[in-house]
Structure formats: structure tokens, C-alpha cells
A and B are shown apart, each in its own frame.
Chain A
Amino acid sequence: MSSSTPEAPLTAAEVTRRAWLRGIIGVIVTAISSVVAVIVGGAALSPAFASRKDSWVPAGRLRDLEPGVPTPVTVRITRQDGYYEAVDQQVVFLLKSDSGELRALSSTCTHLGCRVSYDAQSKLIKCPCHGGVFTPDGRNIAGPPPRPLAEIAARVDDSKVFVQL
């Protein structure tokens, strides 16, 4: 095999030299690892902390609404989900007061999140799951729901209704 001889005892100079070498290795390894960690960490974590932005979505025309009657409107929201473009359909109740003032209510029951619907006969908003009942303007009046239906920001622009989702 090799004709090399085993290592001789270390001189003081050699001990210092090796300490230096260890230092150089340590610095380079730390530098490379840090660069790789920043790149990999940035790529792996950056979308994790992105927040969702609300947007104003068109939800029909003001003149199609009957005063005092909550009208369910399906709004379509395109949402960027990474490389995927997700399209969410969401139902909101639009409510025009007699004075023409507009409100939008979520159709999600405040009890356990079922989809509520408007019963035209009783003029009440009802939840099919556990019998929660709300008034047309969203107040919880019977059954388990702990809170009124959530209010959604709405505005009228050029007689068109927009809701913020």
C-alpha cells in the first residue's frame, strides 16, 4: 500500500497551524450554510406568512332588491392559491331598508357554520341544522346561535352593489 509513515508527534507550531485550519473551515462552513439557509428558508416560508387581502366584489344591482327582504346573492371570488386560481362561490344576503340604505349579511350561521336561508312565509332567516332563527336584519332571536349574523361591508357605486370579502 502506501509507503507513508505514521504521524510524528506535533510541534507547538503545528498545533497552532491546525487551530487556524479549523477556524478557516468553521468560517467557510458557516458562510455557505447561512447562504443556503436564507435561500431555502425564504422559498420555503415566504408564502406561509402571506395574508389574504379582502376585495370588493360586484354583487348585483341596487334596484333589483326589494326593501326589507333579505335577498341571497351568490358572489364569485377569484383567489390566488399559490400556482392555483381558486374560484370561491359565497352567498351573502343583501338587505335594503325602506330608506334605501344597504346592508350585507353573511349567510353563515353563527352557531356551527351551517348555511342559513330566508323563509319568505315566516319572514325569518332560518338555519336548517339546529333550528337557529334570525330576523331579516340578522338578529338572533331563537335557537342556539350566540350572535347575530356577521355584517359584511357593502357599498353602492353607480347603482351597483359591491361587497367586501
Chain B
Amino acid sequence: MSFGDWLNDRTGYRAGLRRVLDEPVPGDVNWFFTLGSVLLFLLALQFVTGVTLTMYYVPTPAYAYESLRFVITQLKFGSMLRGLHFFGASFIVIFAVLHLLRVLFFGAYKSPREVTWATGIVLLLLVLAFGLTGYLLPWDQRAYWATVVTINIAKSTPLVGPYLANIMRGGPDIGALTLSRWYATHVILLPVGVLLFVVIHLYLMRRHGIAGHFNPRPMPTSPFYPVHAVKDTIVIAGVFALLFSFAAFEKAPLMAMADPSDASYVPRPEWYFLGLFQLLKYFPGKLEPVGAIGIPTLVIALLFLLPFLDNRPERDPRARPRVSAIVTLIVVGVSTLTWLGFRDTPVERDPRVWSPRAVAGLDIALSEKCTRCHSTGGSGPDLTRGRINRDVQWISGHVADPDMIAPGLRPPPADGLKNQETRAVIAWVQKVREGAPPPGVRGDERIGMDVFATRCITCHVIDGDGGKEGPDLTHEGKKHDAAWLVKWITDPVAINPDSDMPAFGGKLSDAEMNGVANYLAARK
């Protein structure tokens, strides 16, 4: 007797497995019926990636952001892990809606499947709650300010609003208590809820069988495995490949760490809440609860009641024009609102673009001046790890006087940073804290940026940053070429006797001179 036989004898697993896999499925079940399996796969993937993220994530304002940065920058495949979880959430929302639309148009919610349908709506709401609670956890600017808006929306609920807002915050302000209760909801309450409802949903699906096509053709049934499972598997492979590409190439964003004092940040909700966000703009002042609570509640109530409102047995969408029209109207409405929301969202600065100041700051930070202490094995934290949790005030104090943090332990360097160098280092720190990937500039261009950001920037502006004494050099390349710029920078008075600009001939090395001239000449 093999081990499998013994286990089967004791548990009967083979009969159970056969019962699950050999489910007779109508022959006319087509590719549209793979959406449920895709959702099941995506939920399982969220579970696996989510559990791994919890090994590192810490739900406190002091460390939430840092711990996620650690995942992204220090762990092997950490960025992929977070990417899969981040984009996986969006994928689930998309496929949940597609699944819902499939059931709507195929009329599969009708008797006897009313309860299956209701559990599906509950699952959709749970998935949205997952998205909402998960959005806060990175504790970056985007997370914090979107949550401020979410809670304000809840607050506008008639009668119970203020109490609801307090319960969501866990106190009078958004802070440590909010973060930990949203975390508990996200990693414990909601997963248990989803698991429970998925089990009920699947049990009911098996109990009533798959509804199949709305105009069934007489065809023999075939077992789910492998005849139908192969379609599910192929679609899942495609979806996974797409999700993998998003995680690998699009990179899940991480903004600067949450700063409750920075009210200038314009909150943006996750894209699947953009429609709701947009709707609110049409209900100003006292009418806000209508858009924020009234309309969404009405839509959800309508969904739950649909099998009872539309209770005739016809399933062909053409035979029930009213339902088809209302569904189409809602789909068009939500899509339009989402699109308008997208259009109205102010663009966020692309974190991949580095200013000359930030590039120079990076080069200074990695130079002898800083790495004498800040390197592996040095007395200060290693800067190459690109992980900085000090704020700007602290850094500017520290580079001016390194002695201040640990008096006596380390002498201040005799060749401390000059003013422009300090500002460059601060620009770099802010860039790092925004979660920017390293700059894609090297060689000549990089030297040019370093020179510009430590010298020229005192009097000249590029992209709105710099001194106002000299002309704006943002589009200098349109006016002059590199050869002319070398001559000009070497000795401006030789070209224009009235020029106030100091001569840099002899102060810059050949590499620096050519670098800055080429950099400026390339700015068209």
C-alpha cells in the first residue's frame, strides 16, 4: 500500500478531490466564465504577498514608511513583492467589476442564485474596503491625505457621521491609532471576511451549478477538470503576466513620508475611487452627503435587490431592456466620472526626474566629505543605502556642524560644506525621501549638473530653481552651443565687456568646463 493509498484510506481525499474537479459543466460555458477563477487566483496571490509584507511592515507612524522603504530598497525582489501586492489590488477591482458585469448581462443572478449574487456584492464591498485600508498603510503623503478625505466623506453621513469618523480615526486626529486599527482591519478582519464569503460563494455556485449561457444550446456536459480548467489556467497565466509586467516596469509609487503639517498636498484617491471623488464635486456644501453617501448607497441597494426587482425568468439581456439600459447607464456614468476624475487630478511630479541640485547633492554625499564617516564600518550611518529618516532642518544643522549630534565623538571636518553644497545635499535628501530611483545621468552630463548646482545656481535658474541675478538657463541650448559657452564661461568680459559674470577660466577643470557647457547646450 503506497502512502497515497494509506492517506486516501484514512481521509478519503481522492473522492473529495474528484467531487471538486469533476463538476459537470455545461458544454456552452465559454471564456467569459473564467473571471471567477481569475479573481480566486488574484485573491490567493494578494494573500501570499500580503503575508510576506507583514513580515517587515510596522504599523506605526514612526516606522511604517521606513519599513516599507526597507522592503522596496533592501530586500531581494522586495520591490516586485510590493508591486505585485499594489497592482494586484487594482487587478482585483477590475476583475471583480468584469465578473459582476458578466453575471449581470448573462442574467445569472436570477432565481435560484439570489444569495450567490448577494454574497458576490458583499465580496465586492470587502475588496473595496481592502483597497481603502491598504491605501493608508505606506504612510506617505498620498496615503495620509487620501485618508483625510475618506474620513471627511464618512463624516458627512447624516446623523452618525461624526461618530463614524471618530471610530475610523480611533481618536480626534489621524495618527498612530488610526494606522494600527486600519492595519488590523486590513490584515485580519477583512481577510477572514473575504475567506468566509468566498467559501459561501463557491459552495452556492456548486449547489446551483454554473448558470451557463443565457440561451443554452443542448450540448453534453464535460468535467470542470481539465476541459474547463484549462481555459481558466490560460487566462490566469495571461493576467499574471500582465500583473508581473506592471510590478516590474511600472513600479508601485512611494511618495514622501506623510507630513500632516503640509496642507499644500493635493489628495488623490486610488483610481477606482476617482469616480466617487469626482461625483462629490457636483454636490457642494449641504448637498455633499447626497453624492458621498446617498448615491453610492442607492447603487449598492439596487444591486442587492436586483434579483427581486427583475424576477422574470428570461436571462437574455435583449429580453430585459430596462435592466440592460440601467446597467449600461451606471457603467457609462461610473466610467465617465472616473475619466473626469483622472483629467482633473493634478499631475504629480515625476520622481524619476532629478534636478541638477539633487544630482550634485548625491555626488557630494557619496564624496570623501561625507563618506569619511558615513560608510560601511564608519562611525555614521552608511549613506549609500539611500535611507534617510532625518528631516531637512536636522540635516542642514548637521552638515553645518557635524559635532552637534554627538559632541566630542567626532571632530567637524575642516573643509565643511559651502552654502550651495548644503542646499544640494538637502535637495538630494528630499529626493531620496520621495522614494526616487537613482538618477539616470552619468559622465559628462553628470559633471555638468554638479558644476551647475554648486556654482552657476547662485545666480542662474534652471526649471525654476536658482538665483535671479543672471539670465534663466532652462533653455540655454536654444541660444548658444557648447563651444560658445566654453568661451563665455572662461572669460565673459572677452565677449561682452559690460558683463557682470565672474570668469571661471582656471577655476574649473577641463572636464568640468566641458561638462557644464555640454549640459547647458543640451537644454533646448
Chain A residues packing against B (C-beta within 8 Å): 1-8, 18, 21-22, 24-25, 28-29, 31-32, 35-36, 38-40, 42-47, 53-58, 76, 78, 80, 82-85
**In the complex, chain B residues whose CB is within 8 Å of the CB of A3:** 216-218
Within 8 A of A (CB), among B211-232: 212, 216-223, 225-227, 229-230
Within 8 A of A (CB), among B353-383: 376-382
Q: How far is the CB of A20 from chain B (nearest CB, A)?
A: 9
B233 touches A28 (CB 8 A): yes
**In the complex, chain B residues whose CB is within 8 Å of the CB of A47:** 74-75
Quick one: which of A24, A40, A84 contacts B48, CB cutoff 8 A? A40
Closest A residue to B77 by beta carbon equals A42
**In the complex, chain A residues whose CB is within 8 Å of the CB of B78:** 42-43, 46
Interface size band for B:
35 or more
B219 touches A5 (CB 8 A): yes
**In the complex, chain B residues whose CB is within 8 Å of the CB of A6:** 24, 220-221
A38 touches B77 (CB 8 A): yes
Known contacts A40-B81, A42-B77, then 9 further A-B pairs from the complex at CB < 8 Å, ordered by chain A residue: A29-B233, A38-B77, A44-B52, A54-B377, A76-B406, A78-B379, A80-B385, A82-B70, A83-B67
Closest B residue to A22 by beta carbon equals B226
* B234 lies within 8 A of chain A by Cβ: yes
Within 8 A of A (CB), among B36-75: 45, 48-49, 52, 55-56, 58, 63, 66-67, 69-71, 74-75
* B26 lies within 8 A of chain A by Cβ: yes
Q: How far is the CB of B403 from chain A (nearest CB, A)?
A: 14
* B409 lies within 8 A of chain A by Cβ: yes
Q: How far is the CB of A73 from chain B (nearest CB, A)?
A: 12
Closest A residue to B208 by beta carbon equals A1
In whole angstroms, how far apart are the Cα atoms of A78 and B379 in the complex?
Answer: 7
In whole angstroms, how far apart are the Cα atoms of A140 and B406 in the complex?
Answer: 36
A43 touches B27 (CB 8 A): no
Give per-residue flags for B176-209: 1 if the beta carbon is below 8 A from chain A beta carbons, else 0.
0000000000000000000000000000000001
List 12 A-B pairs, Cβ < 8 Å.
Answer: A5-B219, A21-B227, A21-B229, A25-B230, A39-B49, A40-B81, A42-B77, A47-B74, A76-B379, A76-B409, A80-B381, A83-B70
Known: A8-B220, A32-B237, A78-B380. A83 touches B69 (CB 8 A): yes
**In the complex, chain B residues whose CB is within 8 Å of the CB of A54:** 377
**In the complex, chain B residues whose CB is within 8 Å of the CB of A80:** 381-382, 385
**In the complex, chain A residues whose CB is within 8 Å of the CB of B227:** 18, 21
Closest A residue to B218 by beta carbon equals A3
**In the complex, chain B residues whose CB is within 8 Å of the CB of A22:** 225-226
List 3 A-B pairs, minimum CB-CB distance, nearest first: A55-B377, A83-B70, A46-B76
* B14 lies within 8 A of chain A by Cβ: no
B63 touches A84 (CB 8 A): yes
In whole angstroms, how far apart are the Cα atoms of A7 and B27 in the complex?
Answer: 9
Known: A2-B209, A83-B63. A7 touches B71 (CB 8 A): no
Q: How far is the CB of B78 from chain A (nearest CB, A)?
A: 5
In whole angstroms, how far apart are the Cα atoms of A4 and B70 in the complex?
Answer: 56
* B398 lies within 8 A of chain A by Cβ: no
Q: How far is the CB of A101 from chain B (nearest CB, A)?
A: 24
A7 touches B24 (CB 8 A): yes
Q: How far is the CB of B16 from chain A (nearest CB, A)?
A: 19
A5 touches B77 (CB 8 A): no
B49 touches A35 (CB 8 A): no
**In the complex, chain A residues whose CB is within 8 Å of the CB of B95:** none
**In the complex, chain A residues whose CB is within 8 Å of the CB of B409:** 58, 76
A4 touches B218 (CB 8 A): yes
B244 touches A35 (CB 8 A): yes
A83 touches B66 (CB 8 A): yes
B45 touches A5 (CB 8 A): no
* B279 lies within 8 A of chain A by Cβ: no
B381 touches A39 (CB 8 A): no
B58 touches A83 (CB 8 A): yes
In whole angstroms, how far apart are the Cα atoms of A44 and B26 in the complex?
Answer: 43
Give per-residue flags for B19-30: 1 if the beta carbon is below 8 A from chain A beta carbons, else 0.
000001011100
A25 touches B233 (CB 8 A): yes
A25 touches B63 (CB 8 A): no
Q: How far is the CB of B12 from chain A (nearest CB, A)?
A: 22
**In the complex, chain B residues whose CB is within 8 Å of the CB of A38:** 77
In whole angstroms, how far apart are the Cα atoms of A1 and B218 in the complex?
Answer: 12
* B240 lies within 8 A of chain A by Cβ: yes
Q: How far is the CB of B411 from chain A (nearest CB, A)?
A: 10
**In the complex, chain B residues whose CB is within 8 Å of the CB of A7:** 24, 220-223
* B426 lies within 8 A of chain A by Cβ: no
Quick one: which of A1, A39, A57 contacts B379, CB cutoff 8 A? A57
Closest B residue to A50 by beta carbon equals B74
B220 touches A5 (CB 8 A): yes
Q: How far is the CB of B373 from chain A (nearest CB, A)?
A: 9
* B236 lies within 8 A of chain A by Cβ: yes
B216 touches A2 (CB 8 A): yes
In whole angstroms, how far apart are the Cα atoms of A35 and B225 in the complex?
Answer: 24
* B456 lies within 8 A of chain A by Cβ: no
B48 touches A55 (CB 8 A): no
